[in-house]
Structure 1
Amino acid sequence: MFSGAFTAVVTPFKDGHVDEDALRRLIRFGIDGGVSGIVPCGTTGESPTLSHEEHNRVIELTVKEVAGQVKVIAGTGSNSTEEALALTEHAKSVGADACLMVSPYYNKPTQEGLFQHFKTVAEAVDIPIVLYNIQGRTAVNIENSTVAKLSRIPNIVAVKEASGSILQMSEVIRLTDSDFDVLSGDDQMTFPLMALGGKGVISVVTNIVPDKMSLLVKHMLKGDIAAARAIHFEIYELCQAMFIETNPIPIKTALSMMGMIRNEFRLPLCPMSQANQEKLKTVLERYGLV
């Protein structure tokens, strides 16, 4: 159901408010660059500091701007099942194609708690759901046996795997049916994951080079491994640079250097250190982006 490169789009701010014009430009930039979809209100979109009203508005704006040209996978996760349910219901009501649900953070549920959380939302809202496994942000890993169990719920159709473990990714592909899509949550893991049978990536770097990562994924889906490998190594340093500080600080800083958004964050995220700004600028210059 979901294959390709999907942009985990940043949420641009202007004077403390969501910069809707800049967001529209970013969405258009990604579509013109060949991405398969847009993912608003994820980690890269600073969802923890968006109000519920802003969160809903960003998803609605994204759906309207995309206008059916590519998929919209709306971030609707929460550490409260009731809140995740409300966000998911809203995303469905405004026309999102699917929802990305991060595992509940901070409260450290058991594997049974994780299962019940996702099952409750999936059974209440008839929309495709992509699980989002990122232990580094949530404290709890969704174990492969739990993912396999969840994959048998009809509208839980994919997982964004950001565990950083290629062994875990390999095992989840082995344990699930071929119609359950495994997407990379890390740009630099896209090529090896797809070599194992993954279907693509929910990507940070496509905010700035949508054409490159989209082409890598398209080559892999067609079986042109040599061409995909060449792009993997071509953009590897750029992908690494997007994590020299906490995501989304580097990608928003890069976008601001490219003149696409303001260099504005919401606390507790803050502007990148001067030393890292210089490192990032050097990389962007090397790629001809600034």
Structure 2
Amino acid sequence: MSELNGIMVALITPFNDDRTKIDEGRLQAHIEHLIKAGVHGLVPGGSTGEFTVLSTAERKQLTELCLKFAAGRVPVVVGTGSTSSAEAIELSAHAGQAGAASVMVVPPFYDPVDLEQLHELLAEIHAVSKLPIMYYNIPGASGLTLSPRNLPAFPSLNDKITAFNGWDSLTFYGLAAGCPGGVWGAANFIPELAVELYEAVSVKGDLKRGRELWTKAFPICKFLESHNYCGAVKTGVELIGQPTGGLRKPFSLLKPELQAELKQLLQNAGVKTI
């Protein structure tokens, strides 16, 4: 995983207006915008991409479209986690065949697995995909915490672990502590600011400039985490002028008063809104 670094966008999944299908045109336009802004990678099919409301066929379609539109310019890390091990393995095999750089795997959620079961699942995924695995360590959703003291349960890893930050409001601190990058949902609509932060902190080691940029980004990140995250991120994308199709039920874009609050935060950060 050492080849992955920088701002990896936890990608939204744009739908058509009635949300019956993935909107290919909107997805392509969004990916072009992100790559033009300088992001370093795409992570479709994760929580921010509403994977829980996508069918298996749609998840495969999303993978293929993202790889097609990225066209080798940035790596694509495909979210393949599922409550079903069979589905996770099927999606991971497909990602490997399609040309993904890696798979991102959240463990089965709702009913937590133990470490032995997790090891077995990850081994099967690696065997069928032939890809590095980005393990999505999100205890609040999965009920399983993978901490350093658990790592002896995975003896084949040795020194092959690279840690990325995946919590928006900790992005600055993760980069400052030495993470090579972060998987960041807010980068869907503040990609330029996200890339500038990474360049300042991780490339130039300019923490002073990094703090100045973080002062702009942090209120936005905090806002996202204080509301329905996917709804807030898609609302942010809408506010910069890119239609998303909204969210599949039971979720939705933010209500008008919250949209106005997010719009003000974006304007405070110097982000152009509609």
TM-score, length-normalised on structure 1?
0.86
Whole-Å separation in 1 of the counterparts to 2:239 and 2:202: 33
Q: Which residue of 2 aligns with 1:62?
A: 66
Q: 249, 263, 266: which is aligned to 1:281?
A: 263
Pick aligned residue for 2:156 from 134, 148, 152 = 152
Q: Is the 8 A contact 1:5 1:37 kept in 2?
A: yes
The amino acid of 1:32's aligned partner reads K
TM-score (structure 2 length as normaliser): 0.91
> Which residue in the other structure is 1:102 paired with?
106
CA distance in 1, matches of 2:196, 2:13: 24
Matches within 5 A, 1:25-174: 25-147=29-151, 149-150=153-154, 152-153=156-157
Contact 2:13 2:50 in 1 (8 A): yes
Q: Aligned letter for 1:8?
A: A
Number of aligned residue pairs: give it.
Answer: 267
Task: Report what 2:232 is aligned to.
Answer: 250
Q: Which stretch of structure 1 is more off in the superposition, 94-103 or 255-264?
A: 255-264
SS at match of 1:216: helix
1:289 deviation in Å?
2.7
| Cα contact 1:114–1:142 (8 A) shared by 2 | no
What letter corresponds to residue 272 of structure 1 in structure 2? L
Kindly state the Cα deviation for residue 65 of structure 1 after the two structures are TM-superposed: 0.7
Partner letter of residue 65 of structure 1? F
Aligned-residue offset at 1:248: 0.7
Of residues 195-204 and 238-247 in structure 1, the stretch that sits farther from structure 2 once superposed is 238-247
The amino acid of 1:200's aligned partner reads: G
Q: Select the structure that is richer in strand.
A: 1
C-alpha distance in 2 between matches for 1:123 and 1:250: 36
Percent of matched pairs sharing the same residue = 29
Most deviating of 189-198 and 131-140: 189-198
Q: CA deviation at 1:220?
A: 2.5
Q: CA deviation at 1:148?
A: 5.7
Is the 1:9–1:26 Cα contact (8 Å) retained in structure 2? no
1:268 aligns with 2:250: yes
* Alignment gaps of 5+ in structure 1: 154-175
Aligned to 1:183, which of 151, 164, 170? Answer: 164
Q: In structure 1, how many angstroms separate the alpha carbons of the residues matched to 2:24 and 2:155?
A: 35
Whole-angstrom CA distance in 1 between matches of 2:26 and 2:112:
36
Structure 1 CA distance, aligned partners of 2:22 and 2:52?
14
Contact 2:56/2:87, CA 8 A, preserved across alignment: no
Q: 1:244 to 1:82 in 2, by over 3 A?
A: same
Where 2:163 maps in the other structure, the secondary structure is: strand
Q: How does 1:222-237 map to 2 (within 5 A)?
A: 222=203, 223-237=205-219
Aligned to 2:131, the other structure's residue is in SS state coil
Q: CA deviation at 1:221?
A: 2.4
Counterpart in 2 of 1:192? 173
Q: RMSD of aligned C-alpha atoms?
A: 1.8
